[in-house]
Structure formats: structure tokens, C-alpha cells
């Protein structure tokens, strides 16, 4: 089963996250496939813009893969994870063509941070953005870097410290997203926006985007080593492992009960 479905619609590359779980969690393999898909779309002269969707009635992404996170037992493993996460975000910022995120259901943790990398962000009326890392025992240094750079200190502080969902109207008011629409219209609206932005002359767009995203790109690279240190410390504390272990244990109990 492909992790990402690829479709071209009138010079727009539509990348649909297709993890077997409807929450579209990101692990190392998913990130690698995503980055390669972004590179291929950016290098295709028949493509003018890129839309990324979680799929109909599915999450944009509910964050990192619990099972992979539980296996982060060494400093080297944590460092590798921060590297591919950072590279994942940069793969969107480094794309010279317009990128549009079509967000439905939930964008949580890594999914929230990934969505913030796009040139234009669209969100449904039933979607939310959530940064719950701290209550799960996970460092939120990358979120701090991304949200404070894109939305300012106070917005980042509230999103990270509250650990509460950010509703569409609030996300729009805070410029976390650019448009809100009903779920049935999300993909059509995203493709229309992509087609419009894709008609911008590429040289002007890509050069301007490079300047516009420079602060965020620089901030991500600067925080790479700091984030590794934060995550090594928090993963060593094992609070996250206990939390996710409880979640996965509860899921297993439910599955066993349903099967009996």
C-alpha cells in the first residue's frame, strides 16, 4: 500500500497522505516518501503548484508515530528523529512552487508543525490544530521555534502551554490558516487556490518565497541542535513512554474486548 497517493489535476500535483491509519501518523518512512514526493513535484516542469491533503474524512496528520516514538531509546535515535523532522519541514519551505495544505479533522503535533510550512493553508470547519506535547511529556522546542517565528511569541506561548485545540475561527484570526471552508468543499477550494497561485510567474514567485521563508528556514536550522538536546532530556525522563504505553495498552484492550 502506497503511503502517499499522487494525482495530477490541471498542472497541480495532489499528494494525498495514505497511511493505513486514518490519522496519517508520520514516522521515518512516511517522512522519506513525503520528501521525495515534494522533490519530484518541484522538479516536474509540467507541475505549477502542489496540494497536500490527508484524504477525504481523514486527518491531515495526528502527529508522530507512537510506536516509533516508544523505540527512541538512545541519543543517536533521538538525534536522527530530530534530523528527519527538521528536513521534513524544510522540504516544504525549500519547494520553489506554491504549496497548499488542505487540513481536515486534526493537525496535531508534528502534523500542526508541518502544516505551518505551507505557502497557503486551508482548514475545514470541523478541523483543529493541537500542540499537546507538554502534557504528554514531550519537549516542544520545535513547535516553539516554528510558531513563534510564524505567529509571534504570545501565540506560540498560548498554543504550547495550553495544549488545547485551536478552532478554525481562532486559527484564521491568528493567521495560522488563510481560509476556512466546509469539509465537502476543501479539496476543490485547495485545487482552485493552487491553480491560481500556479499561474504566478515562477521566477518572481520562487525568488520572493525564498526571501519570505528565510527567517523560518534559518530558525529551524539554528534550533536543530537545541531540539536534539531538549528531546534527549525529555525522552530520557520516560514520561512520554509511560503516556504512550497507556494509550497503546488501552487500544489493545479495546481491540481484544471487541474480538471476544
What is the mean pLDDT, run by run of 10 residues, along the chain of 260 residues?
92 97 94 98 98 97 76 78 95 98 97 98 98 91 96 97 97 97 98 98 97 97 92 76 47 42
Q: In the prediction, which pLDDT does 234 show? A: 83
Phi, psi (5° rounding) for residue 15? -105, 115
Q: In the prediction, which pLDDT does 128 show? A: 97
Q: In the prediction, which pLDDT does 88 show? A: 97
Give the SS3 label for residue 167: coil
- The domain spans of the chain are 4-183+202-259
Q: In the prediction, which pLDDT does 136 show? A: 87
Neighbours of 92 (CB within 10 A): 22
DSSP 146: H
Q: In the prediction, which pLDDT does 254 show? A: 44
Quick one: CATH architecture of 4-183+202-259? Alpha-Beta Complex (3.90)
C-alpha–C-alpha distance, residues 233 and 227, integer Å:
10
Q: In the prediction, which pLDDT does 78 show? A: 85
Q: In the prediction, which pLDDT does 248 show? A: 39
For residue 100, what are the β-bridge partners?
Answer: 51, 120
User: Rounded to the nearest 10 degrees, how much is the dihedral formed by the CA atoms of 236, 160, 26, 257?
Assistant: 80
Give the SS3 label for residue 42: helix
Amino acid at each position: 500500500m502506497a503511503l502517499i497517493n499522487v494525482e495530477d489535476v490541471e498542472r497541480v500535483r495532489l499528494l494525498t497522505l495514505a497511511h493505513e491509519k486514518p490519522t496519517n501518523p508520520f514516522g521515518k518512512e512516511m517522512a522519506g516518501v513525503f520528501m521525495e514526493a515534494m522533490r519530484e513535484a518541484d522538479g516536474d516542469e509540467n507541475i505549477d503548484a502542489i496540494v497536500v491533503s490527508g484524504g477525504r474524512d481523514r486527518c491531515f496528520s495526528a502527529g508522530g508515530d507512537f510506536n516509533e516514538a516508544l523505540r527512541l531509546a538512545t541519543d543517536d535515535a533521538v538525534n536522527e528523529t530530530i534530523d528527519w523532522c527538521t528536513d521534513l519541514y524544510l522540504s516544504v519551505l525549500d519547494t520553489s512552487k506554491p504549496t497548499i495544505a488542505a487540513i481536515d479533522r486534526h493537525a496535531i503535533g508534528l502534523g500542526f508543525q508541518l502544516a505551518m510550512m505551507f505557502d497557503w493553508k486551508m482548514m475545514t470547519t470541523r478541523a483543529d490544530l493541537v500542540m499537546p506535547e507538554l502534557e504528554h511529556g514531550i519537549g516542544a522546542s520545535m513547535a516553539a521555534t516554528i510558531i513563534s517565528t510564524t505567529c509571534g511569541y504570545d501565540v506560540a506561548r498560548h498554543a504550547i502551554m495550553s495544549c488545547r485545540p485551536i478552532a478554525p475561527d481562532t486559527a484564521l484570526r491568528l493567521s495560522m490558516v488563510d481560509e476556512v471552508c466546509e469539509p465537502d468543499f476543501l479539496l476543490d477550494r485547495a485545487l482552485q487556490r493552487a491553480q491560481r497561485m500556479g499561474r504566478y510567474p515562477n521566477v518572481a514567485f520562487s525568488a520572493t518565497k525564498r526571501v519570505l521563508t528565510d527567517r523560518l528556514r534559518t530558525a529551524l536550522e539554528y534550533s536543530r541542535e537545541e531540539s536534539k538536546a531538549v528531546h534527549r532530556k525529555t525522552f530520557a525522563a520516560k514520561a512520554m513512554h509511560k503516556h504512550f504505553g497507556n494509550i497503546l495498552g488501552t487500544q489493545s484492550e479495546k481491540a481484544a474486548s471487541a474480538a471476544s
